[in-house]
Structure 1
């Protein structure tokens, strides 16, 4: 009798394990189908946060952008993040990426001016990303003027018209762009860099990430919402 019960129990256990396996496979299939249909599994307040009171911008580049990065050339995290963002953009060439330099102080204001002046010259995309690499090597300069001399020399080697660049840095147009950067940072409540705004109104909750790769998966999913 005991032997018979043992055989029955083993049989039932096998059936239960088989059912669990089928259920797990079914759930996985459902998740895959959901992803294929473009339905995001991300939850607001858990995986991402959404800005509620964003003032719409008249800037076409920002209004049409899929991603907006708030950054500073001197920010170490921005320097590390730049190649990742560039790689993502290379894989998604039809997506629009816009950049907003933050202005925390006089020094970052100069870097912001540099960004906007470079925007008006050929080869902006390359020069913009090359500057992140260049800024990693800066250090030991006595003052900002000495630092700018090195930056100009570097950009001159990159084919930038540095005389035109210097003239543009002091233009009234750039003064307005700096004010615009400050207003945007306030609007988006930027407290640190880099900050990546998705679809004009969302940011990934870093605390919800289980791995580094999750960040870009979240970004891709948020762009489908």
Structure 2
């Protein structure tokens, strides 16, 4: 899997050994399979805002998830490989809490194309306010128990799936693919779509 991280953050790999490689395929089997949302095919997109590969994949994911069948439950999961990345998790779940996930792709653009230095919680809040978000509401969300609980759950998911790099897409608690496994960005989407059809 891809292991590209912004150099100031460093690399903090999670425990390996859960995913078993299938060289002939473009994915790995997750062993043991992870629990998923009952009655749905759960698709998890593991990403990090600091990851340039996630920034490239994001527009493809946005288009793809809009056309997924109703039997699919899609969720984005922000990954923190170390403590320096925790504010990015809080930022994503705060956008969700205040109903502004429309800013999710724009934040990738701000970081990777506009080269804005949005690495602290304060800078992230300032950026959100510049996009029309209420400062008091967003600051409260960033510091809330609910947001931090979701970040803890994201950490548990990343550990359960043995996520060692981003972006990665998990399907049905059983399969995991990524650009390095699938052979490219669009190929990742294509492989994930094929894996959904196995259920």
State whether residues 56 and 63 of structure 1, in contact with CA within 8 Å, keep that contact through their aligned partners in structure 2: no
Structure 1: how far apart are the matches of 2:88 and 2:194?
33
Structure 1: how far apart are the matches of 2:39 and 2:153?
14
1:19-52 CA-partner distances (Å, limit 9, x unpaired): xxxxxxxxxxxxxxxxxxxxxxxxx922132212
State whether residues 101 and 112 of structure 1, in contact with CA within 8 Å, keep that contact through their aligned partners in structure 2: yes
- Mind listing any 5+ residue stretches in structure 2 that lack a counterpart? 1-20
For 1:167, the equivalent position in structure 2 comes to 140
The 5 Å alignment of 1:113-152 reads: 113-124=90-101, 126-136=102-112, 137-139=114-116, 144-145=119-120, 148-152=121-125
Structure 2: how far apart are the matches of 1:73 and 1:133?
10
For 1:220, the equivalent position in structure 2 comes to 193
Structure 2: how far apart are the matches of 1:140 and 1:207?
28
| Structure (1/2) with the larger strand percentage | 2
TM norm structure 2: 0.73
**Root-mean-square deviation over aligned CA pairs:** 2.8
| Structure (1/2) with the larger helix percentage | 1
Q: How far off is 1:70 after superposition? A: 0.8
- Mind listing any 5+ residue stretches in structure 1 that lack a counterpart? 1-43
Larger CA Rg, structure 1 vs 2: 1
The 5 Å alignment of 1:23-172 reads: 45=22, 46-47=24-25, 48-56=27-35, 60=37, 64=40, 66-92=42-68, 94=70, 95-124=72-101, 126-136=102-112, 137-139=114-116, 144-145=119-120, 148-172=121-145
Equivalent residues, number: 174
Greater than 6 Å deviation, 4+ residue runs = none
TM norm structure 1: 0.66
Structure 2: how far apart are the matches of 1:96 and 1:197?
12
